[in-house]
Amino acid sequence: MELLNELNEAQELAVINSDGPVMVIAGAGSGKTRVLTYRVAYLLSQGVDPFNILALTFTNKAAREMKERVLKLVGNSEARYVWMGTFHSIFARILRVEGHLLGYSQNFTIYDTDDSKSLIKTILKDLNLDPKVYVPGAVLSRISSAKSNLISAEEYAGNAEIADQDKQANRPMLGEIFLHYKARCFKAGAMDFDDLLFNMNLLLRDFPEVLVKYQAKFKYILVDEYQDTNYAQYLIIKKLAARNENICVVGDDAQSIYGFRGANIQNILNFRKDYPDAKTFKLEQNYRSTKVIVNAANSVIAKNKQQIHKEIWTDNDEGNLIKLLKANSEAEEGNMVANSIFETKMNLHVQNSDFAVLYRTNAQSRAIEEALRRLNIPYRIYGGLSFYKRKEIKDLLAYFRLVVNPRDDEAFSRIINYPARGIGKTTLDKIEVAALSSGKSLFEVSSAAAHYVKGLNSGTLSKIEQFITMISAFHQQLRVLNAFELARKIAKNSGLLAELKSDDTEEGRSRYQNAEELLNAVMDFSEKEETLFPDLDTGELTAGEITRTLDIFLQEVSLLTDSDTEDEEDNNKVSLMTIHAAKGLEFPFVYLVGLEENLFPSIMSLQTRSEVEEERRLFYVAITRAEKQLTLSYAETRMRWGNMTMNEPSRFLDEIDERFIEQPARKVSSAGFSGGFTGERTKPPMPVKRPLKKISHSENNYERAEATPVELIQPGILVEHERFGKGKIISVEGSGPNTKATVYFTTVGQKQLLLKFAKLRLIN
């Protein structure tokens, strides 16, 4: 069959065994996405109806790429009707139809983390609780963990053991907060991300007709990254697959790194217990990395006891040994990494985008950023402020949300007086009190403000009425206009665009352009040809129905993940990110920094073997992001919480087979133009075991020149200073005995020196 010609033997077996339970263990770089894609294409080629295939992923980006590949493979536009998307997007889609059974309208709002934290802050204020004790983020995390384990607010509040835990943590009111949070979300017609999973479970548990309906619909189920599923996701999948048992899960236990989010590695380890007749296929050929990198990763992960045995191998080149950088401080570590990137770029003529710097915690990026800036190396930080998190974007989206769902209290509070319309905080407080006491939404109370809110003057009442009338008029057009037509009307008639345009500062112009870009996104959405939301039973559209309405756009936006919202413009930059954010990505040159005990592995993850093993899996993921060259680094001292700490090298460095790692012969101590490692090797050397010899700044592998005459000191030349080591001349000013030079030194940064005293030596 021509479709299968591009697959290796293991991949082909994983694709064509389409009936019954199947587990595909896909090692790093082994073509996991290809198998999923070809499996869907194969099912379609065998005559399976696309409406009967459910493919679940963890990012919209992965789902989109898979769908595009399937369309190319089968050449049939019907393939677009495969139910392919993230867990949250697919279940949100079902809840739009079935949610009325749980008391939700079709237009429920999906709260993001910011919305949830804002609501929790309001609840804390209403309950007169200290936000320093009940930190909103920590409260939300506790609620999220409970819902991921299918513990309801009522069960949480009524559980004596949980209450005792909260009391010991000095947060005895958590159960009460959870109850209020649930009630306020429901009143606002809103679900958060965890509710999408929690409520899907409720539907399947409490409404047998719904369970039977979707068991019959989803005859073939595929799950990507199965090792990352939590209990709620596991239970939904198990229930949906119970009738046909045509379930295929794809994943790698060695890359299970999201335990802190509730992911349960036991889901993949115990798959054969759930399905004793399951077939297992192992994808063990790595197409990404060199032999050195693959074998080094194997030597590390072999130390884990909880795992499915596999032998990852590659036909790729042997490759360079892994480099190890040893620095005195985090500042020097940043300089060494930046210098190495600079030198590699110059020597190999590669792009900035070929490099990634990975770290265990976001705080580690500062020293790397400063070093890259000094060498004018552009970089981008993943996990920074995404487009959809910017204030002006969230303001405009809040208008959209309130138009779609007038019960959305968080959206109402955000825009009731933006742009300013004379409805101040005191008035909003009165509306909130009235809404709380009456059990109504803020919009409902404001719609009859004279009745519910006492003490408002006629002018304020008139302004509230104008706002309510405007939102109501927009709401009436939700099914009349497509998403872009209504969005443009809201942006213009609300006064928000005019407000942004009135700010003529550079920041103001940028905010206005961002709002324009959001409208462009709505236009792109409105003009898409394929139908994302066909009828749940037939796949057909009702005659004359406008499917690309604003509520559907909002659902797509609310379910975007960090990896879906990264700015793709000007991509030629070094990537900086946590290892968790790097999962699924690959780069020719990878730098993994901060390999120190108590930093990586984290001091927070050393209490149990399972915690240490997850840290080791995280290290394995970091190693396997590299295609050609991996560089590891650590610092002997690091500032933590304002104190200088002395560090031991990470235990993980000792776990790499010594055949695959090259110890530093000397420091990378020039500003990106020499140094690094003495490179020639005809066979893998036997590395020096730690503790490594501390190398002084004066140690070097070149002949020292005599002190360079002042008149020969020019910008751009490389020099050495007796105390500061190697550096690069940035600029020269003055003349004769007063000549000064600005020099960038790797060890101490930028210095201005009087040349008659500096006695700089030229490096040839």
- Check pLDDT > 90 for residue 570: no
User: CA 504, 508, 512, 514: dihedral to nearest 10 degrees?
Assistant: 150
546 neighbors 479 (Cβ within 8 angstroms): yes
The predicted structure's pLDDT at residue 642: 59
- Check pLDDT > 70 for residue 764: no
- Check pLDDT > 70 for residue 681: no
Say how many C-beta atoms besides its own lie within 10 A of residue 1's C-beta: 9
With H, G, I as helix, E, B as strand and everything else as coil, classify residue 210. Answer: helix
The predicted structure's pLDDT at residue 538: 41
Q: Whole-prediction pTM value?
A: 0.77
pLDDT band at 564 (very low <50, low <70, confident <90, very high): low
- pLDDT tens digits for 31-70? 988 999 999 999 999 999 999 999 999 888 888 888 888 8
Residue 32 is among the residues annotated as catalytic for this protein: yes
From 33, 113, 477, 637, active-site residue: 33
Average pLDDT (162-174) is 92
- Check pLDDT > 80 for residue 232: yes
Mean pLDDT over each residue of the chain, to the nearest integer: 86
From 11, 37, 109, 255, active-site residue: 255
Average pLDDT (309-335) is 94
- Check pLDDT > 90 for residue 748: no
Helix, strand, coil content of the chain in percent (nearest 5): 50, 15, 35
Residue 210 makes CB contacts below 8 A (sequence gap 6+) with 98, 101, 203, 204
Residue 683 is among the residues annotated as catalytic for this protein: no
Residue 126 is among the residues annotated as catalytic for this protein: no
From 225, 330, 432, 566, active-site residue: 225
Average pLDDT (662-689) is 40
More confident residue, 152 or 643: 152
Residue 747 is among the residues annotated as catalytic for this protein: no
Amino acid symbol at 365:
S
Say how many C-beta atoms besides its own lie within 10 A of residue 377's C-beta: 17
Residue 714 is among the residues annotated as catalytic for this protein: no
pLDDT band at 547 (very low <50, low <70, confident <90, very high): low
224 neighbors 84 (Cβ within 8 angstroms): no
From 166, 195, 224, 432, active-site residue: 224
- pLDDT tens digits for 354-388? 999 999 988 788 889 989 998 999 999 886 556 77
The predicted structure's pLDDT at residue 531: 44
Least-confidence region, from 473-482, 561-570, 657-666, 754-763: 561-570
- pLDDT tens digits for 76-95? 677 788 999 999 999 999 99
- Check pLDDT > 80 for residue 479: yes
- Check pLDDT > 60 for residue 698: no
- Check pLDDT > 50 for residue 670: no
Q: How far is CA 364 from CA 7, 256, 572, 599, in A?
A: 41, 23, 22, 10
Helix 174-187 crosses helix 160-168 at what angle (to 10 degrees)?
Answer: 110
* Residues counted in the chain: 764
- Check pLDDT > 80 for residue 688: no
DSSP structure class, residue 361: S
Least-confidence region, from 180-194, 216-230, 600-614, 665-679: 665-679
What stretch of H or E contains 34?
helix 32-45
CA 197 remoteness from chain centre: 19
More confident residue, 526 or 449: 449
From 11, 32, 122, 326, active-site residue: 32
Q: How far is CA 331 from CA 327, 338, 408, 709, in A?
A: 8, 11, 47, 31
Residue 155 is among the residues annotated as catalytic for this protein: no
The predicted structure's pLDDT at residue 697: 32
- Check pLDDT > 90 for residue 540: no
Average pLDDT (553-562) is 78
106 neighbors 189 (Cβ within 8 angstroms): no
**CA nearest 653: which of 645, 644, 662?**
662
